[in-house]
Amino acid sequence: MPDYIVSARKYRPATFSSVVGQTALTATLKNAINTGKLANTYLFCGPRGVGKTTCARIFAKTINCTNRTPDGEACGECESCRSFNSELRSYNVFELDAASNNSVDDIRTLTEQVRIPPMNGKYKVYIIDEVHMLSTSAFNAFLKTLEEPPKYAIFILATTEKHKIIPTILSRCQIYDFGRISNADITAHLKAVAEKEGITTEPEALAIIAEKSDGGMRDALSIFDQVTSFTNGQVTYAKTIENLNVIDYDYYFRLTDMFLEKRISDSLLLLNDILGKGFDGSHLISGLMLHLRNLLVSRDPVTLPLLEVSDEMRERYKAQAAKCQPKFLYRALKILNDCDLNYRVSKNKRLLVELALIQAAQADEDDDSSGRKPARLRPVFNKTAARLQSSRSAGNQVQATPTPQTQPRSQSGLNARNDALSGNPSQVQPASGMSPVIPDRKQAVPTVKSDKLFTSIYGNSVSPINKKTGIPGKDHTPAAASDAALNDPASARPAKPLTDDLLTIHWQEFAASLPRQDTPLKNRMINCKTTVLSPDKFDVFVGNHMVADEINASRERILAHIRESFNNPAIEMTVSVDESRNMDHILTRDEQYARMKEANPSIKELEKVFSLELH
C-alpha cells in the first residue's frame, strides 16, 4: 500500500452534513453563515477527536465559498474552495497549533498577518488549535487583537480544556461545546468506512472499538486502522478484543451470574483465569462496573437507550438484568467503586480485587439476615444511653477531678472501656463516671461478627466508635453499636490468632470502610505495613512522623476494630517510624508525584503515553 492514508484523514468530513454526531452544532453554524450573522471569535470546546478542527476548517471553507449550495454547504468547486482543497490550503486560512507555538513571538507573527486584508475572498480565518496551551503573555498579546479585530478576520479557537481559557478571552468568544460522539454514531460511521474499504466487520467488534474510543471519532478511526491491519481486513470480535487487550464481555456475564448464585470460589478462579491472561485487576474492576451499570440501565425501558451496545448484546443484558435486584446492583457497584478508588494505592492489589468479588457475591444479602432484631433491642440501649448521658454530665459537675487528656480524641465511653479492658494502664481513660452503668465490661465490647467480615461495610456490623470520631461503616447509630454488643457477647467466642495475613485484611478492611471525611487517614492506612510482633501485639511501620501522628490520633477506633475482628481485647498496637527516610516535612504535590513515579514506574509510562501533566 504505497499511498496508504489513515482513515481519520481519508474520511475526514468535507461538509457540515458529513460531520458525524454534531448535528445540532453544525446546523447552527450553517445557519449563522446563511444569515450572515458571523461573530469575530469562536471557541470550539470539547474532548479530543470529536470534530472541532474539522468543523473549524469546514466553517472557514464555507464562509469564503462564492457559490454555496442551497443547503448552505461549500460548493467545493469555486476558486476559494479549490485552493482550500489543495495541499497548499487557501491563503485565507491560517492554522496555528498552540501546543507547539505558544510564545509571544508566535502570536505576534500571527497578529501581524491579521492586519493584511484578504487578497481574494471575504474573510481571513485563523484557526488556533489547543489554544489553552498559549503562555499567559501570549494570551495577553492576543487579547489586543481580539479586542479590535478587523472586519475580515475571524478567529476560531479550539480547545479540549475550556476551564484554562482566561475569562477575558472567554467573554469575547461565541462558544460551541462539542460533545462526545455516541457509540451508535461511531459504529455506523466505521461500518460505512469498512464497506468503502471492502473490509468485513462484526458488529460486536465495531462496538468494542467505539467503546474504546470514548466518543472520539479520530481515535475510533485510528483504532479501526490498527485492528484492520492486525486482522488482515477481517475485523472479528475475537481478534479485536485480542488486539485491543479488552476483557471478553463474556467474563462479565459469567462473573455476574456467579455473584447472583453466590459461587464465591468460582468467581475467584475466574479472576485467576483473567489475571493469567495478562489482564490487570483494575481493568476487570472497571469493566465489571460498566457491566453492572449496563445491567442497571437495562432494567428500565426509560433508561434502555443509555445502553450503547449492539442489538444482540442488548438482549443479553436485558436477560441478565431481569435476574438482578436493584439493591444487588447498587451495592455491587458501590463495592467495585471502592475497590477502584483504592486500587492505585493498594499494596496487595490482587487481594483487594478478590475482596471486592467476595463482597459483590454477598451484595444481595439482606441487612438483617443475621436474624438480629434491632427494634426490640434498641429501647434497652436507649435507657442505657440516657443513663450514660446523665452520669457523664453528673461526673463533670460533681467529680471535677482534673484528668489530663493524653489522647484528646478519646471522647467515647465505649472506647475508654475498651482501653481499660486492654489492661494497658497508660491508655485507661477517665471513664470512672461511666463504668458503673454497665458492670459487665465484657458485654460492653461491641464486636464485628467474624462471619460478617466482608459485609461489614454495609451495616451488618458496626464498630464501637462515636459519631464525633466517625464510625467505619454505614450504620452510625450508637443504638446499633449497642445491638451488636448486646447480641454478640464477645466472651462467647474464642480469640482468633493474630496473623500477618488476617491482620492485613482487617487493617485494610477498616481503611476501606472509612467515610469520605476520613479519606486522608484511609489513604495513609492503605499504605502502612503491619507486622505481628507477638500473639497480642502488632506494629505499624510508617514513612514519617506525620503519618504516625495521624495513626495515633485514630488509634482507638483502629484498635477497637482490630480487637473486635480478632475477638481479642488485649491486642495492642505500636507505631514505628521509618527513620531512614527523612520525610518529615510535608511533601508538595510535585514531590508526592515524583515519589509516586519512583515507587511505580508505570506512572511514568502512563504520563508519556497520554502526555499527562500534573495540575
For residue 573, the cross-strand partners are 538
Sequence length of the chain is: 615
Segment lying near Zn ion (by CB under 5 A), choices 78-86, 332-340, 350-358, 384-392: 78-86
Smallest distance from the beta carbon of 25 to Zn ion, in angstroms? Answer: 22
- Closer by beta carbon to Zn ion, 93 or else 471: 93
- Closer by beta carbon to Zn ion, 65 or else 360: 65
Grid coordinates representing 409? 480524641
For residue 177, the cross-strand partners are 45
Using CA atoms, how far apart are residues 35 and 67, in angstroms rounded to an integer?
15
Smallest distance from the beta carbon of 78 to Zn ion, in angstroms? Answer: 3
Smallest distance from the beta carbon of 35 to Zn ion, in angstroms? Answer: 18
414 is a contact residue toward Zn ion (CB under 5 A): no
Using CA atoms, how far apart are residues 431 and 258, in angstroms rounded to an integer?
49
Smallest distance from the beta carbon of 80 to Zn ion, in angstroms? Answer: 6
Smallest distance from the beta carbon of 69 to Zn ion, in angstroms? Answer: 9
Smallest distance from the beta carbon of 77 to Zn ion, in angstroms? Answer: 6
Using CA atoms, how far apart are residues 258 and 140, in angstroms rounded to an integer?
60
Smallest distance from the beta carbon of 65 to Zn ion, in angstroms? Answer: 3
Smallest distance from the beta carbon of 79 to Zn ion, in angstroms? Answer: 8
For residue 45, the cross-strand partners are 159, 177
The mark string for 491-530 relative to Zn ion (x by CB under 5 A, - otherwise) is ----------------------------------------
Out of 75, 114, 268, 587, which residue is the one contacting Zn ion (CB under 5 A)?
75
Smallest distance from the beta carbon of 84 to Zn ion, in angstroms? Answer: 8
Smallest distance from the beta carbon of 61 to Zn ion, in angstroms? Answer: 7
Grid coordinates representing 509? 478492611
For residue 125, the cross-strand partners are 93, 154
- Closer by beta carbon to Zn ion, 74 or else 295: 74
- Closer by beta carbon to Zn ion, 85 or else 477: 85
In the DSSP assignment, the letter for residue 156 is E
Smallest distance from the beta carbon of 154 to Zn ion, in angstroms? Answer: 17
Segment lying near Zn ion (by CB under 5 A), choices 68-76, 182-190, 235-243, 323-331: 68-76
270 is a contact residue toward Zn ion (CB under 5 A): no
* CB neighbour list of residue 426: distance below 8 Å, 6 or more residues apart: 406
Using CA atoms, how far apart are residues 15 and 26, in angstroms rounded to an integer?
9
Grid coordinates representing 605? 509510562
Grid coordinates representing 314? 442488548
- Closer by beta carbon to Zn ion, 76 or else 430: 76
Contact assessment for residue 25 and residue 125, using Cβ atoms and an 8 Å cutoff: no
- Closer by beta carbon to Zn ion, 74 or else 146: 74
- Closer by beta carbon to Zn ion, 54 or else 62: 62
Using CA atoms, how far apart are residues 194 and 228, in angstroms rounded to an integer?
9
Segment lying near Zn ion (by CB under 5 A), choices 46-54, 67-75, 157-165, 431-439: 67-75
Query: What is the C-alpha end-to-end distance of the chain, expressed in Å?
Result: 43
* 153-159/572-577 β-pairing: unpaired
- Report the number of secondary-structure helices (H) and strands (E) in the chain: 27, 10
65 is a contact residue toward Zn ion (CB under 5 A): yes
Around Cβ 184, how many Cβ atoms within 10 Å?
A: 15
81 is a contact residue toward Zn ion (CB under 5 A): yes
Q: How many Cα atoms sit within 13 Å of 339 on the Cβ side? A: 29
- Closer by beta carbon to Zn ion, 17 or else 487: 17
- Closer by beta carbon to Zn ion, 121 or else 470: 121
Out of 32, 38, 39, 78, which residue is the one contacting Zn ion (CB under 5 A)?
78
* DSSP annotation string for 70-139: TTS---S-SHHHHHHHSTT--TTEEEEETTT--SHHHHHHHHHHHTSPPSSSS-EEEEEETGGGS-HHHH
486 is a contact residue toward Zn ion (CB under 5 A): no
- Closer by beta carbon to Zn ion, 81 or else 209: 81
Q: How many Cα atoms sit within 13 Å of 163 on the Cβ side? A: 2
Using CA atoms, how far apart are residues 398 and 396, in angstroms rounded to an integer?
6
Segment lying near Zn ion (by CB under 5 A), choices 80-88, 344-352, 363-371, 408-416: 80-88
Question: How many residues in the shown chain lie near Zn ion by CB under 5 A?
Answer: 5
The mark string for 18-57 relative to Zn ion (x by CB under 5 A, - otherwise) is ----------------------------------------
At 532, the amino acid letter reads V
- Closer by beta carbon to Zn ion, 55 or else 577: 55
Smallest distance from the beta carbon of 90 to Zn ion, in angstroms? Answer: 11
The mark string for 289-328 relative to Zn ion (x by CB under 5 A, - otherwise) is ----------------------------------------
* CB neighbour list of residue 588: distance below 8 Å, 6 or more residues apart: none
Phi-psi region of 470 (alpha: psi -120 to 50; beta: other; left: phi over 0): left
At 430, the amino acid letter reads P
- Closer by beta carbon to Zn ion, 76 or else 535: 76
- Closer by beta carbon to Zn ion, 59 or else 317: 59
Using CA atoms, how far apart are residues 226 and 230, in angstroms rounded to an integer?
6
Name the residues that contact Zn ion, by CB under 5 A: 65, 74-75, 78, 81
